[in-house]
Amino acid sequence: MKPGVMRTPTSFLLLLIAILGGGYSSAQGQPLRSARPAARLVFSTYLGGKTPCVANGSPLTFGQNAACDAQGNTYVTGATQVSDLPVLNAYQSRPAAGSTMSAFVAKYDPRGQLLWCTYLGGDQQNMGTGVAAMPDGGVAVAGVTSADARGPFPLMNAYQRQNNGQSDYFVTVFDANGNLRYSTYLGGSGVEGTPGSVFTDDNSNGNSVAADAAGRVYVTGTTSSGGGQRAIKFPVTSNAIQSDISGDADAFLCIIDPAQSGADSLVYSSFLGGDKDDKGHSVAVEAHGRHITAAGYTKSRNFPTTDNAYRKDPAPHGYISNGFVAQFRSSHPGSPSSTYTRHYVTYLGANASDARDDTYGMVLDPTGLIVATGRTQSKDFPMTKGGKPSIFNSAKYLKAGTSNDEPYLVKIDTSLHGEASLVYSTFLGGGSADGQWGGFCTSVGVDARGAAYVAGESNAPGKLYVPSNQPAEAPQKFPYTQNALFPTRQGSWDAIFMQIDPTGAQLDYSTYLGGKDGDRAYGLAVDPGGNVVLSGLTFSSDFPTKNAAQPWPDNRGCQNAFVTKFSPSGPPQCSLLLLLLTN
């Protein structure tokens, strides 16, 4: 032993590891795996009310999506059927006359204090589906509305000034203080949104709106407005990459410049689809607007793919659905004369006759790679090969029509060709073989390090996740981590929140989130500090709250929105241990 150096007793080191988060097993006398500290709740709040807009109505509210700006403020949108939301500094302080459902937009500061909250809508039904922070402050919101000339949706500098069909999309932009900057209808004479379920909380919708550094707004969704005799076609621009609808319902991609007004504000609009139903669920854009990516699902056998796709050909006859990822390149972002080309378009799902896959949430990581999540019932969902990382690389128990859904996560590099473009792919667990439980992830975000975060819901019982150097079969139970906020399901189904390391090889954090009744997470956003915001709905009167802007609204049996901000787990807290070992 060197003079002046004191050895730390082994027993003390084991105890220290336990204190620092590694855990300690007195039975075996061995330290458990060093664990990351648990994610911390920064704030968690209800958003809702208890007075229905109409007699005998239901006082429900749900949060559909969330966004964060450069200052760490949080924006949330969704829909409500109550007349007593906690509005503050509101552009629209109450539901419009004749409204049975209103969209809403709320802004919270980094600590969870409500800065402003407003209704948004006309008569009939209105629902916010997507939200994006604007680069100069403020927020863009997209959604669907059936408001018509009797009680029109609020408009300003609109491209389209009337509702053309049964339901139209809307695109609305507020400044940082909640003042209206731009608002327009967007649609044809058919149904915009998912036919039959346009105005319900949407567990298949990712974030349907994005914004670039110049403040242009990008929107995707679903339309059945193909035109025809005496019908109004979904608006398309002369430079559309696909000018006509190809199936009963197609996805679409639109670009709006809210700094312009009227016809000049629609920069670009195009259909996107094949001969069957196609839906756009998420959109993302690089800061300069050069590359625009949409994701969703397709039933089409002729979805317009590219030669460099991971898979350019459809699955065999009989397949139910695949996801899709479609990236486009603009020759002159923001210019009406820009040419748009398909840069990378692929089917995403099993290449099998019983494939059933959907892509919901999608974002770009700091290097521009695509990260996407959704759900699958396909045991043959594509996994990365050749020793590339994966948390769970098989789920042989999955079978369409028999098993329940299981979430997945993929990362795609569109600069590579074919199978090489799949950087990683992993199942996330919690899908049962016999259909008794399952789960999905609707939303995804990425932090500055490239770590990915997903949120959704599960009704599966839990199973402790044990890291492995080798990919393994996905558990049929939900894999929670040792540092989970809630390692057991709190109600019949809970929201879930998971953190995946930048390589896609390890589950860094995973937890249930909820109360004694049902809870679902739909939206997720990552702020500049690496904090993660979830939004969704809860039926629970005991949903976990902290620094809440609003307590439970006392509407037992009805759903409320929730907004929850996590400060995620960081690297293992081992600096003190290293100091003791090296001195």
Q: Quote the CA–CA distance of 447 and 39 in Å, as a whole number.
A: 15
Q: Are the C-beta atoms of 249 and 186 separated by less than 8 Å?
A: no
Q: Quote the CA–CA distance of 410 and 492 in Å, as a whole number.
A: 28
Residue 469 confidence (pLDDT) above 90: no
pLDDT, residue 322, reads 98
For residue 19, give the nearest of 577, 418, 582 by alpha carbon: 577
Element (DSSP H or E) covering residue 581: helix 575-582
Average pLDDT, the chain: 90
The average pLDDT across 453-480 equals: 94
**Residue 76, helix vs strand vs coil:** strand
The average pLDDT across 159-178 equals: 97
Residue 527 confidence (pLDDT) above 90: yes
Q: Any idea which residue has 């990581």 for tokens?
A: 365
Q: Any idea which residue has 């503050």 for tokens?
A: 88
pLDDT, residue 570, reads 52
Using one digit for the tens of pLDDT, what is the confidence trace for 55-90? 989 999 999 999 999 999 999 999 999 999 999 999
Which pLDDT band holds residue 33 (cuts at 50, 70, 90)? very low
Which pLDDT band holds residue 30 (cuts at 50, 70, 90)? very low
Burial class (CB within 10 angstroms; exposed 0-12, middle 13-18, buried 19+) of 265: buried
Q: Quote the CA–CA distance of 262 and 123 in Å, as a whole number.
A: 23
Element (DSSP H or E) covering residue 342: strand 340-348
Which pLDDT band holds residue 578 (cuts at 50, 70, 90)? very low
Q: Are the C-beta atoms of 140 and 255 separated by less than 8 Å?
A: no
pLDDT, residue 99, reads 97
For residue 130, give the nearest of 326, 284, 290 by alpha carbon: 284
Helices (H), 105-257: none
Q: Quote the CA–CA distance of 560 and 550 in Å, as a whole number.
A: 11
**Residue 40, helix vs strand vs coil:** strand
Q: Any idea which residue has 């378009």 for tokens?
A: 345
Q: Are the C-beta atoms of 349 and 315 separated by less than 8 Å?
A: yes
> What are the two backbone dihedrals, phi and then psi, of residue 445, each rounded to the nearest 5 degrees?
-145, 165
The average pLDDT across 191-203 equals: 83
Q: Quote the CA–CA distance of 349 and 142 in Å, as a whole number.
A: 28
Which pLDDT band holds residue 511 (cuts at 50, 70, 90)? very high
Burial class (CB within 10 angstroms; exposed 0-12, middle 13-18, buried 19+) of 41: middle
The average pLDDT across 458-484 equals: 94
The average pLDDT across 342-360 equals: 97
pLDDT, residue 229, reads 77
Residue 6 confidence (pLDDT) above 70: no
For residue 95, give the amino acid letter. P
With a pLDDT cut of 90, the percent of the chain lying above it is: 85
Using one digit for the tens of pLDDT, what is the confidence trace for 212-252? 999 999 999 999 999 887 799 999 999 999 999 999 999 99
pLDDT, residue 481, reads 97
pLDDT, residue 281, reads 97
Torsion of CA 119, 125, 131, 137, to 10 degrees: -30
Q: 276: how many CB neighbours lie within 10 A of its CB?
A: 18
End-to-end CA distance of the chain: 12
pLDDT, residue 582, reads 30
Cα–Cα distances in angstroms (integers) from residue 236 to residues 243, 268, 339, 411, 529, in the given order: 6, 7, 14, 31, 39
The average pLDDT across 434-443 equals: 96
The average pLDDT across 186-206 equals: 86
Q: Retrieve residue 133's tokens.
A: 């922070």
Output the DSSP codes for 552-574: --S-TTS-EEEEEEEE---S---
Residue 581 confidence (pLDDT) above 80: no
Q: Retrieve residue 189's tokens.
A: 């004479």
With a pLDDT cut of 70, the percent of the chain lying above it is: 90
DSSP 8-state class, residue 70: T
* Widest distance between CA atoms in the chain: 95
Q: Retrieve residue 559's tokens.
A: 């759903």
pLDDT, residue 471, reads 78
Choose between 220 and 36: higher pLDDT: 220
Residue 401 region, left (φ>0) first, then alpha (ψ -120 to 50), else beta? left
Q: Quote the CA–CA distance of 80 and 522 in Å, as a whole number.
A: 15
pLDDT, residue 574, reads 36
Residue 35 confidence (pLDDT) above 70: no
pLDDT, residue 580, reads 29
> What are the two backbone dihedrals, phi and then psi, of residue 264, each rounded to the nearest 5 degrees?
-70, -20
Q: Retrieve residue 98's tokens.
A: 């004749």
Output the DSSP codes for 152-198: PPP-BS-S--S--SSBEEEEEEE-TTS-EEEEEEE--SSBBSSTT-T
Residue spans of beta strands (DSSP E) within 472-572: 472-473, 478-480, 494-500, 507-513, 519-526, 532-538, 560-567
**Residue 22, helix vs strand vs coil:** helix
Write the CB contacts of 382 (distance below 8 Å, at least 6 apart in sequence).
310, 311, 348, 349, 350, 351, 410, 422, 425
Which pLDDT band holds residue 36 (cuts at 50, 70, 90)? low
The domain limits of the chain are 1-34, 365-513
Q: Any idea which residue has 């500094």 for tokens?
A: 89
pLDDT, residue 195, reads 76
Q: What's the distance, CA 72 to chain centroid?
A: 18
Using one digit for the tens of pLDDT, what is the confidence trace for 330-344? 999 999 999 999 999
Element (DSSP H or E) covering residue 529: none
The average pLDDT across 166-181 equals: 97
